[in-house]
A and B are shown apart, each in its own frame.
Chain A
């Protein structure tokens, strides 16, 4: 009798565990499993771990790290050197020029990053 109950319990534990990250959702467990989880310490621990993970991740939103001290200066240098038509509506050739400029800027940022990394690795 006890063995039978243990086996059924362990199957339910497996069923609960198989829901994985979805366990963080309060309403995910169907009736019989919810009843089991309410009394099973192992399943409660599994649910608690996934809920804690979600809480910890969500709390990262309030944890802002300081930007590198040179960021503002780097952006300023780039926009002062930039001839993009600001203030006017972007039409036709201007749009093409802007996109080309943005692409070139992206490529140069990446190139500098790669060069820095290669230098650091050398």
Chain B
């Protein structure tokens, strides 16, 4: 299927799914599962939890589908649900465990990258992903949404329940931390 054909296909699926067609919705899940899972993984920094967030986000999307009017792209709408879901899952997890999520996600290897691949791939990406995982959850979310997904500060702030100024402060802190963590990879010695 070409890029031009995907849009009408997706719109047809959306129409059907809005009317309660679960098979059409399954197909939408199939189309968007990788991007949803990737975003969840980058936000929560733990593959297992990211799988739970992705599942929950799709369930919420199914329930909210009648409210989706097509003002934004379906993928943009889904992304917002993923961000909100990862945030609420994180909050309820904090209530259960009374410990920050960054301590729970124990896997130091970047999401989606096995230890062998991380060791052998010369590109900076594996190190970048693992450095992102070293940031605190709240700082990482802002860096991911701004610098990877190019969300506006205002939208980031409203989804994370913080002020725009706080979002900017976290972004600055996160970039500075990444700069320190990735010093060698970014060009190293002065």
Chain A residues in contact with chain B, CB under 8 A? 20-22, 24, 42, 45-46, 48-50, 52-54, 56-61, 63-68, 70-72, 74-76, 78-80, 82, 84, 86-90, 98, 101-102, 105-107, 109-110, 112-114, 116-117
Contact = CB atoms under 8 A, between A and B. Distances in A.
Contacts of B143: 57
Contacts, number: 166
B146 to A, nearest CB: 9
B124 A56 contact: yes
B186 interface: yes
Interface string B110-122: 0110000000000
Interface in B159-175: 171-172, 175
B50 to A, nearest CB: 8
B29 A75 contact: yes
Interface residues of B, number: 62
A116 to B, nearest CB: 7
Nearest to A110: B92
A102 B63 contact: yes
B132 to A, nearest CB: 8
Given A110-B52, A114-B97, A48 B92 contact: no
B47 to A, nearest CB: 8
B66 A89 contact: yes
B37 interface: yes
B38 interface: yes
